Amino acid sequence: MTDAAASGGPAPVVPALPEVLANVHVVALPMVTKFRGVTVREAAVFEGPHGWTEFSPFVEYGDAEASAWLAAALDYGWGPDATLLRPTVRVNATVPALAATEVPAVLARYPGARTAKVKVAEPGQTLEDDVARVAAVREVLGPEGRIRVDANALWNVDEAEHAIRALEGFDLEYVEQPVASVDELVEVRRRVERLGILIAADESVRKATDPLAVARAGAADVLIIKAQPLGGIRSALAIAAAAGLPCVVSSALDTSIGLAMGAQLAAALPTQDFDCGLGTAALFASDVTDAPLLPVDGAIPAARVTPSPELLERNAAPADRRAWWLKRITRCHALLSRG
Ligand SMILES: O=C(O)CCC(=O)C1=CC=C[C@@H](O)[C@@H]1C(=O)O
Ligand SMILES: [Mg+2]
Protein backbone atom coordinates (compact mmCIF):
# COMPACT_ATOMS: atom_id res chain seq x y z
CA MET A 1 0.00 0.00 0.00
CA THR A 2 1.10 3.51 -0.75
CA ASP A 3 1.86 5.42 2.41
CA ALA A 4 0.76 8.96 1.65
CA ALA A 5 1.99 10.29 4.96
CA ALA A 6 5.47 8.86 4.36
CA SER A 7 5.72 10.86 1.13
CA GLY A 8 4.76 14.12 2.84
CA GLY A 9 1.10 13.84 1.87
CA PRO A 10 -1.91 15.20 3.76
CA ALA A 11 -3.42 13.48 6.80
CA PRO A 12 -6.47 11.44 5.71
CA VAL A 13 -10.01 12.74 6.28
CA VAL A 14 -11.98 9.90 7.92
CA PRO A 15 -15.66 10.62 8.66
CA ALA A 16 -17.53 8.22 10.98
CA LEU A 17 -18.53 4.90 9.36
CA PRO A 18 -22.35 5.41 9.57
CA GLU A 19 -21.92 8.69 7.68
CA VAL A 20 -19.96 6.89 4.95
CA LEU A 21 -22.40 3.98 4.70
CA ALA A 22 -25.53 6.17 4.78
CA ASN A 23 -25.97 6.36 1.02
CA VAL A 24 -23.81 3.73 -0.69
CA HIS A 25 -24.83 2.47 -4.15
CA VAL A 26 -22.95 -0.52 -5.53
CA VAL A 27 -23.06 -0.74 -9.31
CA ALA A 28 -21.94 -3.38 -11.83
CA LEU A 29 -21.29 -1.61 -15.13
CA PRO A 30 -21.12 -3.62 -18.35
CA MET A 31 -18.13 -2.92 -20.57
CA VAL A 32 -18.11 -2.77 -24.37
CA THR A 33 -14.87 -4.72 -24.46
CA LYS A 34 -12.85 -6.82 -22.03
CA PHE A 35 -10.13 -4.76 -20.37
CA ARG A 36 -7.54 -6.20 -17.95
CA GLY A 37 -9.75 -9.29 -17.74
CA VAL A 38 -12.77 -7.24 -16.61
CA THR A 39 -16.11 -7.37 -18.50
CA VAL A 40 -18.30 -5.99 -15.69
CA ARG A 41 -16.86 -3.24 -13.50
CA GLU A 42 -18.09 -3.11 -9.92
CA ALA A 43 -17.87 0.15 -7.97
CA ALA A 44 -19.30 1.71 -4.82
CA VAL A 45 -20.42 5.33 -5.12
CA PHE A 46 -21.69 7.51 -2.28
CA GLU A 47 -22.29 11.14 -1.41
CA GLY A 48 -20.25 13.30 0.95
CA PRO A 49 -20.80 16.94 1.86
CA HIS A 50 -18.67 18.02 -1.13
CA GLY A 51 -20.36 15.78 -3.67
CA TRP A 52 -20.47 12.24 -5.02
CA THR A 53 -17.41 10.10 -4.65
CA GLU A 54 -16.22 6.62 -5.64
CA PHE A 55 -14.52 3.62 -4.06
CA SER A 56 -13.65 0.98 -6.65
CA PRO A 57 -10.47 -1.00 -5.95
CA PHE A 58 -10.41 -4.07 -8.19
CA VAL A 59 -12.14 -7.00 -6.51
CA GLU A 60 -8.94 -9.06 -6.14
CA TYR A 61 -7.14 -6.36 -4.13
CA GLY A 62 -6.59 -6.96 -0.42
CA ASP A 63 -7.76 -4.55 2.27
CA ALA A 64 -4.40 -2.85 2.87
CA GLU A 65 -4.16 -1.80 -0.78
CA ALA A 66 -7.89 -1.01 -1.04
CA SER A 67 -7.78 1.28 2.00
CA ALA A 68 -5.74 3.85 0.01
CA TRP A 69 -8.63 3.89 -2.48
CA LEU A 70 -11.05 4.52 0.42
CA ALA A 71 -8.86 7.37 1.66
CA ALA A 72 -9.17 8.87 -1.85
CA ALA A 73 -12.96 8.46 -1.87
CA LEU A 74 -13.31 10.09 1.54
CA ASP A 75 -10.96 12.94 0.65
CA TYR A 76 -12.92 13.66 -2.53
CA GLY A 77 -16.31 13.56 -0.75
CA TRP A 78 -15.35 15.15 2.57
CA GLY A 79 -11.97 16.89 2.14
CA PRO A 80 -11.11 20.30 0.72
CA ASP A 81 -11.66 20.94 -2.99
CA ALA A 82 -8.61 21.05 -5.24
CA THR A 83 -7.66 24.31 -6.91
CA LEU A 84 -8.24 23.71 -10.60
CA LEU A 85 -5.87 25.40 -13.04
CA ARG A 86 -7.76 24.46 -16.24
CA PRO A 87 -11.41 23.59 -17.01
CA THR A 88 -10.80 20.58 -19.26
CA VAL A 89 -8.24 17.81 -19.60
CA ARG A 90 -7.00 16.30 -22.88
CA VAL A 91 -7.31 12.53 -22.88
CA ASN A 92 -5.81 9.62 -24.78
CA ALA A 93 -7.69 6.79 -26.44
CA THR A 94 -7.15 3.51 -24.60
CA VAL A 95 -6.71 0.52 -26.88
CA PRO A 96 -7.12 -2.87 -25.17
CA ALA A 97 -5.11 -5.90 -26.35
CA LEU A 98 -7.48 -6.59 -29.23
CA ALA A 99 -6.84 -7.81 -32.78
CA ALA A 100 -5.46 -5.13 -35.11
CA THR A 101 -8.64 -5.33 -37.19
CA GLU A 102 -10.65 -4.02 -34.23
CA VAL A 103 -8.48 -0.91 -33.73
CA PRO A 104 -10.41 1.53 -36.00
CA ALA A 105 -13.69 0.80 -34.15
CA VAL A 106 -12.01 1.32 -30.74
CA LEU A 107 -10.38 4.60 -31.75
CA ALA A 108 -13.72 5.86 -33.11
CA ARG A 109 -14.97 5.88 -29.50
CA TYR A 110 -12.51 8.71 -28.68
CA PRO A 111 -13.43 11.60 -31.01
CA GLY A 112 -10.67 14.18 -31.29
CA ALA A 113 -8.05 12.20 -29.37
CA ARG A 114 -4.57 12.83 -30.79
CA THR A 115 -2.93 10.28 -28.46
CA ALA A 116 -3.53 6.55 -28.03
CA LYS A 117 -2.31 4.21 -25.34
CA VAL A 118 -1.99 0.66 -26.62
CA LYS A 119 -1.92 -2.39 -24.37
CA VAL A 120 0.87 -4.82 -25.25
CA ALA A 121 2.47 -7.99 -23.82
CA GLU A 122 -0.92 -9.62 -23.21
CA PRO A 123 -0.43 -13.23 -22.02
CA GLY A 124 -1.24 -15.66 -24.83
CA GLN A 125 -0.38 -13.12 -27.54
CA THR A 126 2.86 -12.54 -29.46
CA LEU A 127 5.08 -9.56 -30.19
CA GLU A 128 3.77 -9.76 -33.76
CA ASP A 129 0.25 -9.14 -32.38
CA ASP A 130 1.56 -6.04 -30.55
CA VAL A 131 3.35 -4.75 -33.63
CA ALA A 132 0.23 -5.27 -35.77
CA ARG A 133 -1.96 -3.47 -33.20
CA VAL A 134 0.42 -0.51 -32.90
CA ALA A 135 0.74 -0.34 -36.71
CA ALA A 136 -3.06 -0.22 -37.00
CA VAL A 137 -3.17 2.64 -34.48
CA ARG A 138 -0.47 4.56 -36.38
CA GLU A 139 -2.47 4.02 -39.57
CA VAL A 140 -5.58 5.63 -38.04
CA LEU A 141 -3.85 8.45 -36.11
CA GLY A 142 -1.46 9.41 -38.92
CA PRO A 143 2.11 10.66 -38.46
CA GLU A 144 1.13 13.46 -36.05
CA GLY A 145 -0.62 11.12 -33.61
CA ARG A 146 1.08 10.22 -30.35
CA ILE A 147 1.35 6.56 -29.40
CA ARG A 148 2.34 5.12 -26.05
CA VAL A 149 2.31 1.43 -25.11
CA ASP A 150 1.62 -0.18 -21.73
CA ALA A 151 3.08 -3.63 -20.91
CA ASN A 152 1.78 -3.76 -17.32
CA ALA A 153 5.15 -5.18 -16.11
CA LEU A 154 4.73 -8.33 -18.20
CA TRP A 155 8.14 -8.33 -19.93
CA ASN A 156 11.52 -9.21 -18.46
CA VAL A 157 14.42 -6.88 -19.26
CA ASP A 158 15.54 -8.69 -22.43
CA GLU A 159 11.97 -9.08 -23.71
CA ALA A 160 11.37 -5.39 -23.07
CA GLU A 161 14.47 -4.34 -24.97
CA HIS A 162 13.58 -6.65 -27.87
CA ALA A 163 9.95 -5.44 -27.99
CA ILE A 164 10.87 -1.77 -27.73
CA ARG A 165 13.30 -2.18 -30.63
CA ALA A 166 10.54 -3.90 -32.64
CA LEU A 167 8.13 -1.04 -31.90
CA GLU A 168 10.67 1.78 -32.21
CA GLY A 169 9.74 2.60 -35.83
CA PHE A 170 6.25 3.68 -34.71
CA ASP A 171 7.65 6.77 -32.95
CA LEU A 172 6.58 5.93 -29.40
CA GLU A 173 5.87 8.73 -26.93
CA TYR A 174 6.78 6.43 -24.03
CA VAL A 175 6.67 2.84 -22.83
CA GLU A 176 4.63 2.38 -19.65
CA GLN A 177 5.79 -0.13 -17.04
CA PRO A 178 7.72 -2.44 -19.40
CA VAL A 179 9.08 -4.50 -16.46
CA ALA A 180 8.13 -5.04 -12.83
CA SER A 181 10.83 -3.78 -10.47
CA VAL A 182 12.52 -0.41 -10.03
CA ASP A 183 15.94 -2.00 -10.73
CA GLU A 184 14.65 -3.54 -13.97
CA LEU A 185 13.16 -0.19 -15.02
CA VAL A 186 16.57 1.42 -14.47
CA GLU A 187 18.17 -1.23 -16.69
CA VAL A 188 15.58 -1.00 -19.49
CA ARG A 189 15.79 2.78 -19.42
CA ARG A 190 19.58 2.55 -19.74
CA ARG A 191 19.32 0.12 -22.66
CA VAL A 192 16.81 2.16 -24.70
CA GLU A 193 18.08 5.62 -23.81
CA ARG A 194 19.94 5.96 -27.11
CA LEU A 195 16.70 5.28 -29.02
CA GLY A 196 15.21 8.40 -27.44
CA ILE A 197 12.29 6.41 -26.00
CA LEU A 198 10.93 7.50 -22.63
CA ILE A 199 10.02 5.11 -19.83
CA ALA A 200 6.94 5.68 -17.68
CA ALA A 201 6.24 4.03 -14.32
CA ASP A 202 2.71 3.03 -13.28
CA GLU A 203 2.50 -0.04 -11.03
CA SER A 204 5.92 0.92 -9.54
CA VAL A 205 4.24 4.08 -8.25
CA ARG A 206 0.67 3.07 -7.39
CA LYS A 207 1.40 -0.38 -5.93
CA ALA A 208 4.69 0.50 -4.21
CA THR A 209 5.27 0.99 -0.48
CA ASP A 210 7.28 4.04 -1.48
CA PRO A 211 5.80 5.82 -4.54
CA LEU A 212 8.89 8.04 -4.75
CA ALA A 213 11.41 5.19 -5.10
CA VAL A 214 11.13 5.33 -8.92
CA ALA A 215 11.99 9.01 -9.05
CA ARG A 216 14.85 8.64 -6.56
CA ALA A 217 16.36 5.76 -8.55
CA GLY A 218 16.07 7.63 -11.86
CA ALA A 219 14.02 4.66 -13.10
CA ALA A 220 11.54 6.60 -15.25
CA ASP A 221 11.12 9.78 -17.27
CA VAL A 222 7.38 10.05 -16.62
CA LEU A 223 5.12 9.00 -13.73
CA ILE A 224 1.60 7.65 -14.18
CA ILE A 225 -0.47 8.85 -11.24
CA LYS A 226 -3.96 7.65 -10.36
CA ALA A 227 -6.13 9.42 -7.80
CA GLN A 228 -7.73 6.41 -6.10
CA PRO A 229 -4.68 4.12 -5.62
CA LEU A 230 -2.53 7.03 -4.44
CA GLY A 231 -4.93 8.00 -1.66
CA GLY A 232 -6.66 10.92 -3.36
CA ILE A 233 -6.08 14.14 -5.22
CA ARG A 234 -4.09 15.90 -2.49
CA SER A 235 -1.89 12.89 -1.82
CA ALA A 236 -1.21 12.36 -5.56
CA LEU A 237 -0.36 16.06 -5.96
CA ALA A 238 2.14 15.76 -3.09
CA ILE A 239 3.74 12.70 -4.74
CA ALA A 240 3.94 14.50 -8.11
CA ALA A 241 5.56 17.54 -6.51
CA ALA A 242 8.07 15.48 -4.53
CA ALA A 243 8.96 13.33 -7.57
CA GLY A 244 9.63 16.36 -9.76
CA LEU A 245 8.85 14.39 -12.95
CA PRO A 246 6.20 15.02 -15.61
CA CYS A 247 3.00 13.21 -14.61
CA VAL A 248 0.22 11.62 -16.62
CA VAL A 249 -3.03 11.14 -14.73
CA SER A 250 -4.72 7.91 -15.65
CA SER A 251 -7.99 6.27 -14.71
CA ALA A 252 -8.47 3.22 -12.56
CA LEU A 253 -11.28 2.12 -14.88
CA ASP A 254 -13.54 4.23 -12.71
CA THR A 255 -17.16 5.22 -13.33
CA SER A 256 -17.60 8.84 -14.44
CA ILE A 257 -17.62 9.89 -10.76
CA GLY A 258 -14.09 8.54 -10.24
CA LEU A 259 -12.98 9.83 -13.64
CA ALA A 260 -14.01 13.32 -12.50
CA MET A 261 -11.76 12.85 -9.45
CA GLY A 262 -8.92 12.02 -11.86
CA ALA A 263 -9.77 14.95 -14.11
CA GLN A 264 -9.63 17.29 -11.12
CA LEU A 265 -6.23 15.88 -10.17
CA ALA A 266 -5.02 16.49 -13.74
CA ALA A 267 -6.48 20.00 -13.75
CA ALA A 268 -4.69 20.79 -10.48
CA LEU A 269 -1.22 19.75 -11.68
CA PRO A 270 1.03 22.76 -12.34
CA THR A 271 1.89 21.54 -15.84
CA GLN A 272 0.34 19.08 -18.23
CA ASP A 273 2.66 18.00 -21.03
CA PHE A 274 0.99 14.70 -21.85
CA ASP A 275 -2.61 13.70 -22.56
CA CYS A 276 -4.22 11.80 -19.69
CA GLY A 277 -5.62 8.25 -19.58
CA LEU A 278 -9.00 9.48 -18.44
CA GLY A 279 -11.09 8.66 -21.51
CA THR A 280 -12.08 5.22 -20.26
CA ALA A 281 -15.81 6.03 -19.93
CA ALA A 282 -15.68 5.04 -23.62
CA LEU A 283 -15.01 1.44 -22.54
CA PHE A 284 -18.33 1.22 -20.64
CA ALA A 285 -21.65 0.23 -22.21
CA SER A 286 -23.44 2.04 -19.35
CA ASP A 287 -22.37 4.49 -16.64
CA VAL A 288 -23.84 6.06 -13.49
CA THR A 289 -24.82 9.30 -15.25
CA ASP A 290 -26.68 10.31 -18.42
CA ALA A 291 -23.74 12.64 -19.15
CA PRO A 292 -20.72 10.32 -18.86
CA LEU A 293 -17.24 11.85 -19.17
CA LEU A 294 -16.84 10.70 -22.77
CA PRO A 295 -14.16 12.52 -24.73
CA VAL A 296 -15.41 15.44 -26.81
CA ASP A 297 -12.82 17.08 -29.09
CA GLY A 298 -10.26 14.89 -27.31
CA ALA A 299 -10.99 16.27 -23.83
CA ILE A 300 -13.20 15.80 -20.77
CA PRO A 301 -14.37 18.45 -18.27
CA ALA A 302 -12.74 18.65 -14.83
CA ALA A 303 -16.10 18.97 -13.08
CA ARG A 304 -17.74 16.83 -10.41
CA VAL A 305 -20.33 14.30 -11.58
CA THR A 306 -23.69 13.57 -9.96
CA PRO A 307 -25.23 10.18 -10.76
CA SER A 308 -28.70 9.59 -12.14
CA PRO A 309 -30.98 7.69 -9.69
CA GLU A 310 -32.39 5.67 -12.63
CA LEU A 311 -28.94 4.51 -13.74
CA LEU A 312 -27.87 3.67 -10.18
CA GLU A 313 -31.00 1.54 -9.98
CA ARG A 314 -30.65 -0.04 -13.43
CA ASN A 315 -26.95 -0.87 -12.88
CA ALA A 316 -27.30 -1.92 -9.23
CA ALA A 317 -25.11 -4.92 -8.34
CA PRO A 318 -26.81 -8.08 -7.00
CA ALA A 319 -27.55 -8.13 -3.24
CA ASP A 320 -24.64 -10.47 -2.40
CA ARG A 321 -22.17 -8.20 -4.20
CA ARG A 322 -23.59 -5.14 -2.45
CA ALA A 323 -23.14 -6.88 0.92
CA TRP A 324 -19.53 -7.76 -0.07
CA TRP A 325 -18.71 -4.12 -0.88
CA LEU A 326 -20.29 -2.81 2.33
CA LYS A 327 -18.17 -5.22 4.36
CA ARG A 328 -15.08 -4.19 2.38
CA ILE A 329 -15.75 -0.50 3.06
CA THR A 330 -16.22 -1.31 6.76
CA ARG A 331 -12.89 -3.18 6.96
CA CYS A 332 -10.96 -0.51 5.03
CA HIS A 333 -12.53 2.21 7.16
CA ALA A 334 -11.28 0.39 10.27
CA LEU A 335 -7.76 0.30 8.80
CA LEU A 336 -7.87 4.04 8.05
CA SER A 337 -9.28 4.85 11.48
CA ARG A 338 -6.40 2.98 13.11
CA GLY A 339 -4.08 5.34 11.23
O1 LIG B 1 -4.26 4.97 -19.10
C2 LIG B 1 -5.23 4.70 -19.82
O3 LIG B 1 -5.28 5.02 -21.01
C4 LIG B 1 -6.45 4.00 -19.27
C5 LIG B 1 -6.34 3.38 -17.92
C6 LIG B 1 -5.53 2.11 -17.86
O7 LIG B 1 -4.82 1.78 -18.80
C8 LIG B 1 -5.62 1.27 -16.71
C9 LIG B 1 -6.68 1.40 -15.84
C10 LIG B 1 -6.90 0.50 -14.79
C11 LIG B 1 -6.00 -0.49 -14.52
C12 LIG B 1 -4.75 -0.62 -15.22
O13 LIG B 1 -4.46 -1.96 -15.51
C14 LIG B 1 -4.59 0.20 -16.51
C15 LIG B 1 -3.13 0.69 -16.54
O16 LIG B 1 -2.24 -0.13 -16.37
O17 LIG B 1 -2.79 1.85 -16.71
MG1 LIG C 1 -0.49 1.17 -16.78
Residue of 280, 284, 300 to test ligand 1 pocket, by largest number of atoms within 8 Å of CB: 280
Burial (0-12, 13-18, 19+ Cβ within 10 Å), 151: buried
Q: Is 226 a catalytic residue?
A: yes
Per-residue buried b or exposed e for 67-103, using 16+ beta carbons within 10 Å of the residue's own CB: bbbbbbbbbbbbbeebeeeeebbbbbbbbbbbebeeb
Mean pLDDT over 201-226 rounds to: 97
Give per-residue pLDDT as tens, 89-107: 999 999 999 999 999 999 9
How many secondary structure helices (H) and strands (E) does the chain include? 12, 12
User: Is the entire prediction scored with pTM above 0.90?
Assistant: yes
Does residue 12 have a pLDDT over 70?
yes
Return the bridge partners of 276, or none: 91
Ligand 1 atom nearest to CA at 36: 13
Q: Which ligand is closest in space to the CA of residue 222?
A: 2
Residue 137 amino acid letter:
V
Residue of 251, 259, 261 to test ligand 1 pocket, by largest number of atoms within 8 Å of CB: 251
Give per-residue pLDDT as tens, 315-335: 999 999 999 999 999 999 999
Residues, the chain: 339
Give per-residue pLDDT as tens, 237-251: 999 999 999 999 999
CATH fourth-level superfamily of 5-81+310-338: Enolase-like, N-terminal domain (3.30.390.10)
| Residues with Cβ within 8 Å of residue 323, at least 6 apart in sequence | none
Percent of the chain with pLDDT over 90: 94
Secondary structure letter of residue 12 according to DSSP: P
ipTM of the complex: 0.98
150: CA distance to ligand 1 center in Å?
A: 8
Contact assessment for residue 44 and residue 257, using Cβ atoms and an 8 Å cutoff: no
* pLDDT tier for residue 2 given thresholds of 50, 70 and 90: very low
Does residue 285 have a pLDDT over 70?
yes
CA distance 87 to 82: 12
Give per-residue pLDDT as tens, 122-171: 999 999 999 999 999 999 999 999 999 999 999 999 999 999 999 999 99
Residue 8 amino acid letter:
G
Per-residue pLDDT at 134: 98
Does residue 7 have a pLDDT over 60?
no
Per-residue pLDDT at 36: 87
Return the bridge partners of 52, or none: 47
Give per-residue pLDDT as tens, 19-52: 999 999 999 999 998 898 899 999 999 999 999 9
- Domain ranges for the chain, please list them: 5-81+310-338, 88-307
Q: Cα 141 to chain center, whole Å?
A: 22
Residue ID of nearest Cα to ligand 1 atom 9: 252
Q: Is 117 a catalytic residue?
A: no
CATH fourth-level superfamily of 88-307: Enolase-like C-terminal domain (3.20.20.120)
310: CA distance to ligand 2 center in Å?
A: 32
What helix, strand, coil percent values describe the chain, rounded to 5? 40, 20, 40
Per-residue pLDDT at 69: 98
Round the CA-based radius of gyration of the chain to a whole number and report it: 19
Does residue 3 have a pLDDT over 50?
no
Mean pLDDT over 246-259 rounds to: 98
